[in-house]
Amino acid sequence: MLEARGMTLVIEPCPVHENNMITFIPEAYYVMRRVGRPSVGIMADTYSMQFGYERMSEIAAYGDAIRHLHFSAPNHRIPHEKDGYDYSDFFSALHEMHYADTLTIEAFHDGDFEKQVNEAFKLLKNGLGELY
């Protein structure tokens, strides 16, 4: 059904305080493999990964299955270069796997939304470089 419509279903691991089933990328990968359909993949969420102490290298390790990414700062705010967090492992994983699928910022904002989004785009542009 999904294949016929050109759709993809992604499995999102969520932190243990939000769910008790799939909390890490390897668990999502196991379920994805059991389903065995090319239209099923994984969505990695950097907030969930950081909350669960999952290494960003898991993104590259399961790169063939990652179809979508949610990106946010560890405090679930809009990420930017001066927020005090190091995103180099995240960007290294994307470069290692030559990621070219979708990536969205899923985060809360406080204050000037337009300014924060522009700062996030700058971070993404610098981190992604030639990938996009």
Output the pTM of the full model.
0.88
pLDDT, tens only, 21-79: 999 999 999 999 999 999 999 999 999 898 888 999 999 999 999 999 999 998 889 99
Burial 39-54 (b: 16+ CB within 10 A, else e): bbbbbbbbbbbbbbeb
Q: Is the pLDDT of residue 132 over 70?
A: no
